[in-house]
Amino acid sequence: MQTILNRAIDEVRYYSCGYCVNDMRFIVKDRAVKKKEFPAGVFLLHHKKYGYILFDTGYSDMNYKCGIKGKLYNFFNPLKVKKEEEIAVQLQKDGIKPADVKYIILSHLHPDHIGDLRDFPKSKIICSMKCFRQYKKGNIKDLIFTDLLPWDFEKRLYRVRKYDYPTEFFKGYDLFRDGSVILTDISGHAKGQIGAYLPEHEIFLGADAAWGLNLMSKADEMSPPARLVQNNFREYKRSISLLQKLNEAGIKIYLSHDVIYKKDLLNE
C-alpha cells in the first residue's frame, strides 16, 4: 500500500462556490421536500510534479452579468454567490494564487462550472472535444454562456478527443501519462461531460452525472421538465450505471451538487 507521500496526487480538496435553489418537485416526481439548495462544487487536486489542478470553477459574480440569457437562467434556477465564495478568493485565503493553478479541467460548460474561469488567466484549460463542438454550435439550449469564458479560451484550451487508456472499469484519457488522473466520458447530462478518476485514492469526480448520489437510483422517476434539461437521457442512464458500478467496487464518488461537509477529501 502506497503512503500518501509517494502518490502523484497528494491533495484533494472540496470547495463550495455559491449555490442555486431548485424545487425538488421539478426534478423527481412526487417529492415531499420542496426547495433544495444545490451547491456548486469545485475540486482542487495537487499533483507533485504538475502543481494545482481545478476540476470546475463554480459560480462567480460574473454569473449575474450574462445578459438576457443569464437573467432567464437565474429566473428558472435562482443562484446565490458571494464574492468570498468564489473559488479564486477561497484559494487565495488558503495561500494559493491563480497563477499556481496550472490546469483547469472543465467537466462541461454549464454556467455553474465555468463561472470563475476568467479569474485564472494563466491556467491551461481542458475540456472534451464533444463539449467544444457544442460550444462552437452556440445552441441556446446547451446553456453555454460565452460571457463567462476568457477572451483567449480557445488558445488555452486542450481538447480531449480519445478515451483509450484502459482501466478496470472504463476506457479513459490518462491526463499526465502517469495513471494519476484518468478522464472519461460521462455524457448524458451534457454532451461530452467529463468525469475524473483518481485511482491512487479510489475517488471519482462525477460532475453532474446526477444531481445527487441519492438521485442516482431514481433516474426513472425523473420528472419530464428535468429530463428535458438532460442532453441525452439514454446516455444519462448509461453514465449513471457506470457510477453505480464504481460505487459497488468501493470507489468514492463525489458529485458537483451534493452537500459535502469535509474540505480535505484524503483525510477523513
Tell me if 106 sits within 8 A of 113, measured CB to CB.
yes
Considering beta carbons, is residue 9 or 144 the nearer one to Zn ion?
144
Residue 160, classed as helix, strand or coil, is strand
Cα dist from 45 to 110, 256, 263, 265, whole Å: 21, 15, 12, 10
Residue 208 binds Zn ion (CB under 5 A): yes
Q: Cα 251 vs. chain centroid, distance in angstroms?
A: 17
User: Which residue is closest to Zn ion by CB?
Assistant: 110
CB of 160 to Zn ion, least distance (A): 18
d(CA 121, CA 98): 8
Of the ranges 107-115, 148-156, 231-239, 246-254, which one interacts with Zn ion (CB under 5 A)?
107-115
Considering beta carbons, is residue 47 or 191 the nearer one to Zn ion?
191
Considering beta carbons, is residue 13 or 110 the nearer one to Zn ion?
110
d(CA 130, CA 146): 16
Of the ranges 19-27, 42-50, 203-211, 260-268, which one interacts with Zn ion (CB under 5 A)?
203-211
Binding mask 114-143 for Zn ion (x = CB under 5 A): ------------------------------
Site size for Zn ion, by CB under 5 A? Answer: 2
Considering beta carbons, is residue 110 or 191 the nearer one to Zn ion?
110
CB of 38 to Zn ion, least distance (A): 10
CB of 123 to Zn ion, least distance (A): 21
d(CA 79, CA 37): 9
Residue 110 binds Zn ion (CB under 5 A): yes
Tell me if 125 sits within 8 A of 106, measured CB to CB.
yes
Smallest CA-to-CA distance from 238 within 191, 188, 197 is with: 188
d(CA 160, CA 45): 19
CB of 108 to Zn ion, least distance (A): 6
CB of 32 to Zn ion, least distance (A): 25
Considering beta carbons, is residue 214 or 264 the nearer one to Zn ion?
214
The values of phi and psi at residue 188, to 5°, are 135, -70
CB of 15 to Zn ion, least distance (A): 17
Q: 10 Å Cβ neighbour count for 258?
A: 18
* Sites of contact with Zn ion (CB under 5 A): 110, 208
